[in-house]
A and B are shown apart, each in its own frame.
Chain A
Amino acid sequence: MTRTAEMWINMGPQHPMTHGLWNLRVKVDGETIVDAEPEVGYLHRGIEKICENRTYPQVIPITDRLCYGSSMSWSHLYCRTIEDLMGLEVPERAQYIRVVVLEMQRLASHLMWLAAYAVDLGMMAGFIYSMRDREVFVDLLQNLSGSRLTYNYPRIGGVAHDIPPGWDKEALRACDYTEQRLREYEDLYEGSKIFMMRNEGVGILRRDDAMNLGVTGPPMRASGAKYDLRKDRPYEAYADMDFEVCSRTEGDCFARYRVRMDEMWESCRIIRQAIQNMPKGKWRVVAPRNAPEGTGMARVEDPRGEGMMYAVGDGSDRPYRLKIRSPIFVTVSAAPKFLVGYKIADVVAIMGGLDMCIGENDR
């Protein structure tokens, strides 16, 4: 085997692959990657410190800013954490509304990932179609909450207000529309020879590595681990929903793509069930102003993996400490495992398949 001089290459911070500001340093031997190191922190805003100086309800819009792609799931996670800290029980109707909006957020987030992934792999048509259909759910959430991306909709003890009249019918129609579109996407993407060649057998991650390196969410399920918090440790009204945990055994980029596509089908199923079975009643309980001394921890299945928060209360009206566990922060730390041994042209497919979100990564 001929060996060439190894060298470090910076892919980023301004590189079309990165989707945000971060830097991937790869060490190449010719075309082959022999080492890699992600560098993050370009978007660090000190959100955890900011939260310590705000009252509990004031933190909700800040947690929205953790990720522009799935802000609902982050403000929901924060509200759950504080509910655990305060010992609040959420009314049943609020739980169902939360399930609906969380699954809509998952669909919007996965569709945005699909769009970005398509353009990474040189398929502009996929980008345009996916972004268009993501708008369906963004519009629905806008009709519900008033803003397009940062919704500020969940509240400690429920949700901000009930769903508007006729919104549930629109949501059901959106599900029908999306399922029809998903079928088209599957033909469009999997019928593309280039897409398949760049995906199959690339970026393989074994199950044990995924576990040990803390990889969660679709990348973990694509590696053969069948674990979804919505199913295995249900929160909100997920225990009443009938859906499958999507997992694959191949562990390559195509498996990660397939897991996300399957999750979108399941999300449509969940939205339908939640809307049809939604009970009547209150959608919010009044939360106390101060939290007791103690700790609260919540753990949810974010579109990108397992989001966790750990809150410490000291009896005042502000969190003493709020730790945010970003799923993508841990997943990207496993980048060398994904990358080493593949060609430098595969970097785009492999890192694109992880669905990076720098906002939550850097906090």
Chain B
Amino acid sequence: MTGGGLENRGDAQELEKAPTRIDGDPEERVLRVLRDRFPGSASDTARVRPGLVRAHIKREDLYDACRLLRDALGFEHMSMISAVDYPDRFEVVYHISSYQNNLTLELIAQTPKDDPVIDSVSDIWGGANWQEREAYDLMGITFKDHPKLERILMLKDTLYHPLRKDFRG
């Protein structure tokens, strides 16, 4: 038996001094800031429906974008991390919420099939910790610098990642 769960703490002290509410149109503001700060990386920005916006981002910029989202744009809550196995790529979809602006951002990062590696955001949001472990366990995405990237739902000695499309049980 290794380690404990204590690393999963988040850093709430930093959050306290984070600026909060966005006046005016938060949906447009969030997309504009992403486009301005990550030109050439943030693409396909769209307003999907009231309260939900979508953006694609290159995986190299994912960590910086997430830190910006939390520290400057009031996204205090990582809601869901989904990994999808497309025929030509893996997609990691982050649903990040801001309660004070009543807004959800769908941030999509892609990895090539032969190199499913992406930066971990679990030191930005503690809530991402287990969800990244789950994505690693079931889909085989490696999250760089995750404090404890181990299997969580499957047995520790499982040899496969069952949600991949090429897995045949």
Footprint of A on B, CB under 8 Å?
Answer: 1, 3-6, 8-12, 15-16, 51-52, 76-80, 82-85, 93, 95, 99, 102, 104, 106, 125-131, 134, 138, 151-155, 162-163
Confirm or deny: A337 has a beta carbon within 8 angstroms of a beta carbon on chain B.
Answer: yes
| Chain B nearest CB, measured from A52 CB (Å) | 8
> In the assembled complex, how far is the CB of residue B22 from the closest CB belonging to chain A, in whole angstroms?
16
Does A336 contact B93, Cβ atoms closer than 8 Å? Answer: no
The answer on a CB contact under 8 Å between A233 and B102 is: yes
Please tell me which one of the listed residues B6, B128, B162 contacts residue A336 in the complex, with CB atoms under 8 A apart. B6
Shortest Cβ distance from B55 into chain A, in angstroms? 14
Interface of A, secondary structure class, is mixed
**Contact partner of B11 among A36, A212, A214, CB < 8 A?**
A212
Instruction: Evaluate contact between A297 and B152: CB separation under 8 angstroms.
Output: no
A121 in the interface, Cβ–Cβ < 8 Å? no
Which residues in B have their C-beta under 8 angstroms from that of A38? 5
Whether the Cβ atoms of A336 and B99 lie closer than 8 Å is no
* 5 tightest A-B CB contacts, nearest first: A214-B127, A37-B5, A212-B10, A323-B82, A333-B130
Determine whether A348 belongs to the interface, using a CB cutoff of 8 Å to chain B.
no
Whole-angstrom distance between the alpha carbons of A336 and B9 in the complex?
8
A206 in the interface (beta carbon within 8 A): yes
Residues of A within 8 A of B83 (CB): 323
Q: Name the distance in Å between A354's Cβ and chain B's nearest Cβ.
A: 14
Verify A36–B5 contact, CB threshold 8 A.
yes
Q: Which of A41-49, A108-116, A268-276, A281-289 contacts B (4 or more CB under 8 A)?
A: A41-49
CB-defined contacts of B95 to chain A, threshold 8 Å: 297, 308, 310, 325
Contact A206 B12 (CB under 8 A): yes
Cβ of A212 and Cβ of B5 under 8 Å apart?
no
Q: Are B99's CB and A310's CB within 8 A? A: no
| A interface with B by C-beta (< 8 Å) | 8, 25, 27, 35-38, 40-41, 44, 46, 48-49, 206, 208-209, 211-215, 225, 227, 232-233, 295, 297, 299, 306, 308, 310, 312, 320-321, 323, 325, 329-330, 333-337, 340, 362-363
Interfacial chain A residues near B5, Cβ < 8 Å? 35-38, 333, 335-336
Asked if B127 and A308 sit within 8 Å, CB to CB, the answer is no
Please state if A214 and B104 are interface contacts (CB–CB under 8 Å). Answer: no
Residues of A within 8 A of B126 (CB): 209, 212-214, 333-334, 337
Instruction: Compute how far the CA of A40 lies from the CA of B155 in the bound complex, rounded to whole angstroms.
Output: 10
Q: In the complex, which residues of chain B have a beta carbon less than 8 angstroms from the beta carbon of A323?
A: 80, 82-84, 93
B122 to chain A, nearest CB (A): 10
Whether A209 touches B12, Cβ cut-off 8 Å, given contacts A323-B82, A325-B79, is: yes
Chain B residues with CB below 8 A from A232, complex form: 99, 102
> Taking A41-B153, A46-B162, A334-B126 as contacts, is the C-beta distance between A214 and B79 under 8 angstroms?
yes
Sample of 7 further A-B pairs with CB below 8 A, known A35-B4, A329-B134: A209-B12, A209-B126, A213-B8, A308-B79, A310-B93, A329-B131, A336-B4
Which residues of B lie under 8 Å from residue A211 when comparing CB positions? 15, 76-77, 99
Per the bound structure, the CA–CA distance linking A21 and B169 in Å amounts to 24
Chain B proximity of A316: nearest CB distance (Å): 13
Chain B: minimal CB distance from A39 (Å): 8
Contact of B127 among A48, A213, A299 (CB under 8 A): A213
B148 smallest CB distance to A (angstroms):
9
Compute how far the CA of A363 lies from the CA of B99 in the bound complex, rounded to whole angstroms. 27
| Chain A neighbourhood of B102, CB < 8 A | 232-233
Q: A214-B127, A363-B153 given as contacts; is B163 within 8 A of A48 (CB)?
A: yes
Are A330 and B153 in contact, CB atoms less than 8 angstroms apart?
A: no
Pairs across A and B, CB under 8 Å, 7 listed: A36-B5, A37-B3, A208-B16, A213-B10, A214-B131, A310-B95, A363-B153
